[in-house]
A and B are shown apart, each in its own frame.
Chain A
Amino acid sequence: MSAETATTPAVKQEEALLSKRRKKIIADPLNEDNPITIQVLGICSALAVTTQMKPTLTMAVSVIFVMVFSSLAISLLRNTIPSRVRIIVQLAVIATLVSLVNEVLKAFAFDMYKQLSVFVGLIITNCIVMGRLEAYALGNKPYDSVLDALGNALGYAWIILAVAFFRELLGSGRLFGFHVFEAIGVQNFPTNGLMVTPVGAFIILGIIIWVQRTKTGYVEH
């Protein structure tokens, strides 16, 4: 596929590689236009995988990979994709990339594959990926689309990692499987079973959204 050979698309001479506008494309989704907390997309996987840090990290990396390359592919093809079948085309591209991630995990990180393959498959239905393809990559140049995908994927990644941090810490008393409380000398830390269930993710997510909206002053219109 031509996507692989064109990872560094030509940049217009007038605009710097990381101009102010482009920095904003990356930075906005991290906070003020965050896909999870503001656009409220990708909630299902934010609830499902975030019981522990390690699978969450793998999930975050997989989503970044899928988003960046699907945006690149769709953006490169944007003038040839027939508008009547564009949703199917987007789905096909995403599904192919997700299957590739799954195959690579199976070959090189079998333990992770066993733990995560269900959720990796669900990246296909992650609204953030298709949302950005539909809203941005279809109408913008490849480089900008990649930046937009990267920004949104990172915005997704930091939120799920933050949720996983609190859920694993409070729910199992661990981080990346490491027994934190034993290490600092607190024996019998009362772990909170609620945190291991999706309810815990809702609570943590709610608190993050609350804190964020208080700081940015965002209100629903």
Chain B
Amino acid sequence: MSQSNSYVIKFTVILTIVLGGLLSLASVLLRPIQQKSVEIDTKKQILGAVMSLEGKSNNDILSTYDAVIKSLVVDINGEEVKQDESGQPVIAEDVDVARMYKISPEKRKFPVFKYHKEGKEDDVLAYIFPVYGVGLWGPIWGFLALDTDFKTLKGVVFDHETETPGLGARITEGEVQNRFQNKKVYNESGELVSVTMLKGENNPSSRLDDHHVDGLSGATITAVGVNDMLKAYLKFYESYIKKAADGKIVAYIE
């Protein structure tokens, strides 16, 4: 059966309009739900750096977040940024870390999420910083929580877009993230050394000191990406960390 050219063109045009319309409709209808999912997911990750969220409903997560997190935005020098270039107030939750990654560090905005005791904003328990980098196939990101001694990792969460399931994608697993707990990002002499994932898995415990954690078998490039990402962002936040640490000491003396 052979059809005329005009029939073929008519058919494809109608098909394109119908299918395109269907997709646009789905996209418009589902967008509010998707945005809510993304917001919950981000807040879940921020909280996940400092507490276990197992068995918590989405509403619990949102209300817990409001109760224990106070956020601010700083620049590369650790100074708080309250307004953007056009005078609009800056909200830490709205800062797109992925987009910031593309501009030079001096111009970036760096969100800080202070985890405090419920209802007591001054009683800070941990400082949570977003991190962002590249894995094997695509972007990886996460949050790290620094204890109030400004040395010890309270916890980390990682996420990724396209790492290999079962290999690099394991960075999202609690078991892998727990390895970073209580590791130190500064050494005895106060130098930034970050925490490094070793190559290979089941390394002897003699190699796992304060600054090294066990690696991911079969996912060395993802692990290297994690290492680079942690180191880079700890460096970006170093001015702020130093300032916060000084402020803390002053507060103690008073």
List residues of A whose CB falls within 8 A of some B CB. Answer: 1, 48-49, 51-52, 55, 80-85, 88-89, 92-93, 96, 99-100, 103-104, 106-108, 110-111, 114-115, 118, 171-172, 193, 196-197
**Given A82-B11, A115-B165, A1-B41 contact (CB < 8 Å):** no
**Given A82-B11, A110-B38, A171-B166 contact (CB < 8 Å):** yes
Is B162 within 8 A of A118, CB to CB? yes
- Given the complex, which residues of A lie within 8 Å of B34, measured CB to CB? 103, 106-107, 110
- Given the complex, which residues of A lie within 8 Å of B51, measured CB to CB? none
- Given the complex, which residues of B lie within 8 Å of A85, measured CB to CB? 8, 11-12
Nearest CB in chain A: distance from B25 CB, A: 10
Stretch of B15-23, B191-199, B222-230 lying at the A interface: B15-23
The number of chain B residues touching the other chain, given as a range, is 20 to 34
A110 nearest in chain B by CB position = B37
- Given the complex, which residues of A lie within 8 Å of B161, measured CB to CB? 114, 118
Per-position 1/0 for B9-48, Cβ under 8 A of A: 0011001101100110011001001100110110000000
**Given A96-B23, A106-B30, A107-B34, A49-B16 contact (CB < 8 Å):** no
Q: How far is the CA of A55 from the CA of B169 in the complex (A)?
A: 12
Is B165 within 8 A of A92, CB to CB? no
- Within 8 Å by CB of A110, from B7, B22, B26, B41, lies B41
B219 nearest in chain A by CB position = A196
Q: What DSSP secondary structure best describes chain B's contact surface?
A: helix
Is A196 within 8 A of B167, CB to CB? yes
Q: How far is the CA of A82 from the CA of B167 in the complex (A)?
A: 45
Known: A106-B37, A172-B166. 5 other contacts (CB 8 A): A1-B18, A49-B165, A100-B22, A115-B169, A197-B167
Q: How far is the CA of A104 from the CA of B161 in the complex (A)?
A: 18
- Within 8 Å by CB of B8, from A48, A52, A82, A114, lies A82
Nearest CB in chain A: distance from B59 CB, A: 15
Q: List 8 A-B contacts (CB under 8 A).
A: A1-B18, A51-B166, A51-B167, A88-B12, A96-B19, A103-B34, A110-B37, A196-B218
Q: How far is the CA of A81 from the CA of B165 in the complex (A)?
A: 39
Q: Which 5 A-B pairs have the closest CB atoms?
A: A51-B166, A110-B37, A107-B33, A107-B30, A82-B8
- Within 8 Å by CB of B22, from A1, A49, A84, A118, lies A1
B162 nearest in chain A by CB position = A118
